Structure 1
Amino acid sequence: MSLKLPKPLVSASWLLSHLNDKNLIVLDCTIPKVTAKKTLIEQKKQIKGALFFDIKNVFSDIKAPFPNTALSPQEFELKAQELGINKSSIIVCYDDLGVYSSPRVWWLFQLMGFKNIAVLNGGLPKWKEEKFPIENQQKNNLSKGNFKVDYQPQKITYTKEVLSSLEDKNILIADARSKGRFYTTEPEPRKEVKGGHIPNSVSFPFGNILKDGLVKPKEDLLKIYKELNPDEKELVFTCGTGITASILALGAAITNQKSYAVYDGSWTEWGSTEGLPIRNLIWKI
């Protein structure tokens, strides 16, 4: 019987103890931060046996006008099969920055109806800190998997739906970007994108639910999400391009929020589309 992951977050010690399980697949989901400075590229290291999950070039629609646009269910199913993923797989995803892009992959699989997946808390930095086995990045000859999509459209939302929901008091839009970007006291990293935020949205930086590269304990998250959403409204998470909004979605899953979705185009689409309302007053933080 295949192992079932009890929660959407696992520790480095848990992963080490299951690293040789037959159906386990470890996915390296690393992407660089859009605000990061380019540095000398060293030999890429990974958790022993990991496969690289290419968010940018394989698991996003590269023909779409905005970054990190989710694939169609049919395309995702094919790409996941090509990566050797099966219906019986147990997936743990991680990234080199701790908890940054790996929740995006966790959310993509949730969107596609696959639940036996978790994020490695602390990612590669925590794994290295524990001195657990790493290796140079490998090229793998993979057998095609039998992964199947069971699409869950309620987990994603688009500009048209967000626009129509702005006056809906049962919906709360939470923005994972920094307060500086939300309140326009700092510029957007993409020059073609206006500054500001979606009207009636609230600032909820993804760092609120992290500490020292780890997702905060569940008891802390329960307080944080209760303060964010005391009336248990439907949550819509947005950010720059849908990456860090997925961190908030992970926190929502850990705290058993009733209803939440990720705005796939996020601020890059909203802030570069003519005719959409924008709040861009500079507020004191």
Structure 2
Amino acid sequence: MIDSALVDVNWLVEHLQDAELVILEASVQPVVPGFESINSEENFAAIPGARRFDYDKEVCKPNSSLPHMMPSPELFQEKVREIGVNRDSTIVVYDDVGLYASPRAWWMFRAMGHDQVYVLNGGLPAWIAAGLATAASLSSAEAQGDFEAEERINLFCDFNVVLAATDDKASQIIDVRSAGRFNATAPEPRPGLRGGHMPSACNLPFARVLDNGKLRDRAELQQMLQELASPEQKVISSCGSGITACVMTLAAWEAGYRQLSVYDGSWAEWGLPSKLPVVP
């Protein structure tokens, strides 16, 4: 189909009637200052035909003390079949901020073995800005899907992998939180967490890879990332809770990096009082 993990609104309009197309709305209420949902309970709009993919409450590990952790392949398969996703589906995910929560949905599907998944660059704001029609509500699946999850275990990682990476020159941890949180000069939004960062991690706030709600072009992304890591290194992205880390993973993918992993627990886990090392 296409080499990029992105599609734009023009591509989506052209393919809106494709039988294999599944559009998934994957919004999560933003907590990062400067990022806002354009939807609200009183004023809601959706791309016509879009179905809800809720990885914050539904497609996630149940009874976890950490937010929206990756579910088992069995639970993932069950939940996405319920929303009508098939083995041959071409999936386009979007969110109502622009580019905020949807990259995690994209990476989750890739982690479960599905490659025909793409992110709508600019999300719902770009769709509306193009003057395209919206629906007042989301759609439901007409039939159960036949999606089969085949987990790729390296695409998300736990703290043990990150701990090993702090002393591994073949790996580079990129922390996408703000510089203030990274350097422990600004408080963490979640109570009880330590300030600072992992040893050897570098800081590239995820907002820097965006331009007006869309991902920057490939040349800009390559320049940013090559200052921090080589394409031969394994790049582990980390953030506050595993959402915006996936924005960086998307940026790295577009820049040609392929040895990529997301620290699922991110700072919500690492920052807890523990023996995991933290430096200011």
Identify whether the pair has TM-score above 0.5, normalized to the shorter chain.
yes
Q: In the alignment, what sits opposite 2:114?
A: 114
Asked if the contact 1:5/1:90 (under 8 Å) is kept, the reply is no
**Structure 2 residue 8 is the aligned partner of structure 1 residue 11:** yes
Identity of aligned residues (%): 35
Q: In the alignment, what sits opposite 1:264?
A: 264
Residue type of the partner of 2:92? V
- Structure 1's unaligned 5+ residue stretches are 281-285
Q: In the alignment, what sits opposite 1:222?
A: 222
Q: In the alignment, what sits opposite 2:146?
A: 146
TM, length-normalised to structure 2: 0.94
- Structure 2's unaligned 5+ residue stretches are none
Displacement, 1:181? 1.0
**Distance between the aligned counterparts of 2:151 and 2:139, measured in 1?**
30
Q: How does 1:113-132 map to 2 (within 5 A)?
A: 113-132=113-132
Alpha-carbon distance change, 116 to 108 in structure 1, aligned in 2, over 3 angstroms: same
Displacement, 1:43? 3.2
Alpha-carbon distance change, 127 to 139 in structure 1, aligned in 2, over 3 angstroms: closer
Displacement, 1:254? 1.2
Asked if the contact 2:82/2:141 (under 8 Å) is kept, the reply is no
Displacement, 1:222? 1.6
Q: In the alignment, what sits opposite 2:202?
A: 202
**Structure 2 residue 25 is the aligned partner of structure 1 residue 28:** yes
**Distance between the aligned counterparts of 1:244 and 1:268, measured in 2?**
13
**Distance between the aligned counterparts of 2:40 and 2:95, measured in 1?**
19
Displacement, 1:225? 1.6
Alpha-carbon distance change, 246 to 58 in structure 1, aligned in 2, over 3 angstroms: same
**Distance between the aligned counterparts of 1:256 and 1:22, measured in 2?**
30
Asked if the contact 2:84/2:141 (under 8 Å) is kept, the reply is no
Residue type of the partner of 2:132? F
Alpha-carbon distance change, 192 to 256 in structure 1, aligned in 2, over 3 angstroms: same
Secondary structure in 2 matching 1:93: strand
Displacement, 1:41? 3.4
Aligned residues: 277
Q: How does 1:76-87 map to 2 (within 5 A)?
A: 76-87=76-87
**Distance between the aligned counterparts of 2:129 and 2:231, measured in 1?**
40
Alpha-carbon distance change, 132 to 228 in structure 1, aligned in 2, over 3 angstroms: same
Displacement, 1:6? 3.6
Asked if the contact 1:26/1:91 (under 8 Å) is kept, the reply is yes
Displacement, 1:114? 0.3
**Structure 2 residue 131 is the aligned partner of structure 1 residue 134:** no
Output one character per residue of 1:72-93: Cα deviation in whole Å (capped at 9) or x when no partner. Answer: 1111011111110001111000
Q: How well do the aligned residues superpose, as a CA RMSD in angstroms?
A: 1.8
**Distance between the aligned counterparts of 2:170 and 2:138, measured in 1?**
48
Q: How does 1:270-281 map to 2 (within 5 A)?
A: 270-280=270-280
Displacement, 1:232? 3.2
Displacement, 1:273? 4.3
Output one character per residue of 1:151-180: Cα deviation in whole Å (capped at 9) or x when no partner. Answer: 111111101121122211111100011111
Asked if the contact 1:158/1:263 (under 8 Å) is kept, the reply is yes
Displacement, 1:40? 6.7
Displacement, 1:142? 3.5
Secondary structure in 2 matching 1:184: coil
Residue type of the partner of 2:108? L
**Structure 2 residue 92 is the aligned partner of structure 1 residue 96:** no
Residue type of the partner of 1:21? D
Q: In the alignment, what sits opposite 1:243?
A: 243
Displacement, 1:141? 5.0
TM, length-normalised to structure 1: 0.92
Asked if the contact 1:95/1:101 (under 8 Å) is kept, the reply is yes
Moved more, 82-91 or 213-222: 213-222
Asked if the contact 1:5/1:116 (under 8 Å) is kept, the reply is no
Secondary structure in 1 matching 2:256: coil
Residue type of the partner of 1:256? G
Displacement, 1:61? 1.4
